Amino acid sequence: MNPLWSAVLAAALLGVVQFGDGKHLAGVREATTPRELQVSSSKVIGVPLFPAYGFTLADKAGDLFFHLGGGSFSNATIMKLSHSSYEPTLYTPPAEIQHSYNFYQFSVSPDGTLWMLLNAGPELMAASFGSDGEMKGKSTLKLSLDEVNVKDFAALPNGTLFLSGLGLGKNKGRSVSFLLNGDSGEEVRQIDADIVPEDLPKSGVAIHQGDACVGDDGNLYLLHDRQILIINAAGKVVGRVAFDKPLSTLLPVHIIVSSGYAAIWLNTAPNDSHHFETSYLVVDINNREPATWYSAPSGVRIAAVDFSRTDGFEFLVGEKGQYKVLTAELR
C-alpha cells in the first residue's frame, strides 16, 4: 500500500465512507419524477474505503476535500484527493493548536486554498493551508460562539471569510451573517440585513435553509428554500435567482456553482430509519432556462461528491474494498 494511504487510514480508522441585480424564476422542466443520470465514464482509482464526515468540497481544478471520520468529529484532519492522480494530501494543524482547539468546519476557495475553522470554547480561529497541506497562516476571529452558533462557513478567493448562523447574546433569536478578514480576524461588515430573501416566491425562511458556497466566478452563493442569493466579495447582493422545487417537501441542503450552472442537492425528509434520498436540481443562472431535475444513476445509492458544467456529477462508489469514480454528464 502507498505509504500516504497508510497515513490516511491511520488518521481516519478504516471504515465505510459517509457523505452522509437580476431577478428571475427558474421553473422546473415538466416532470413528475427526476430524469435519471446516465454514467458517462467509470474509473477504478485504487483508493481504499475511508470514513468521512459531511459534504465533500472541491476546488476549481476538481480536487476533492474530505473531513476524515472514524474517530471524533473534532479531529482536525482534512484529506485532498488530486483530480489528476487521486493521490492524497493530508491537512492538519500543528500539534500545539490541535492540543487547544477543536475542529469546527472547513471551506475550500476556488483556487484550492483550504481554510479550517477551529474553536477553543467560544473562541474561533481561522487557519489557512497551502496545497502541500502545511498551515500558512492563522488568526483569532473577532467573532465568537457566544455571539453566533455558526452554521455556514465559506472562503472567498481574496481571503475574506463568510460566517452565518443563529445569533446569540444581543443577536439572540435571529439569523446573522458576517464577512471577516481571514488574515487579521477583523470584521469586514455584518451583512444579514442585506440578504433576507425576497418573497419571490415567499419562502418563510429567515436567512437561508440550505448551504453557502463560493462559485468558480468568485461570488458567494447562499441557498434559500426557493431562492439563491448571489453576493460579491464586498458583501453586496448582485443577483437573486428564484427556483421551483419539484416537490414542496424536498429540502435543499447543498449547492455547487460551475460556469453559470447551480447544482442543488435536494434531500427527502429522513424516515424512521434515518434514511433519505438525494436528487439534484440544475439551475441555469445566466440564461434563465428552466431547471432540470435529476436522480442518481441506476444502482448508485450515495450522494454525488462534485459537480461541474462540463463533466456533470461525480460519484465515489465503493467496490471490492476500494473506490471507483463515476461521472454522469448532463443531458
Kindly report the three-state secondary structure assignment for every residue of 116-136. EEEEECCEEEEEEECCCCCEE
Instruction: Provide the number of structural domains found in the chain.
Output: 1
- Confidence band of 208 (pLDDT split at 50, 70, 90): low
For 128-145, give one letter per residue: b (16+ CB within 10 A) or e: bbebeeebeebbebebbb
What's the domain range around 44? 3-328
The predicted model gives 55-76 an average pLDDT of 92
**C-alpha–C-alpha distance, residues 66 and 115, integer Å:** 13
pTM for the whole thing? 0.88
The predicted model gives 117-145 an average pLDDT of 97
| The predicted structure's pLDDT at residue 329 | 97
Mean pLDDT lowest for which of 1-5, 228-232, 277-281? 1-5
The predicted model gives 165-183 an average pLDDT of 90
**Is a pLDDT exceeding 90 seen at residue 260?**
yes
The predicted model gives 192-220 an average pLDDT of 68
| The predicted structure's pLDDT at residue 331 | 86
- Confidence band of 194 (pLDDT split at 50, 70, 90): low
- Confidence band of 171 (pLDDT split at 50, 70, 90): confident
Which cell goes with 29?
A: 422542466
CATH code for the domain in which residue 300 is found: 2.120.10.30
**Is a pLDDT exceeding 60 seen at residue 85?**
yes
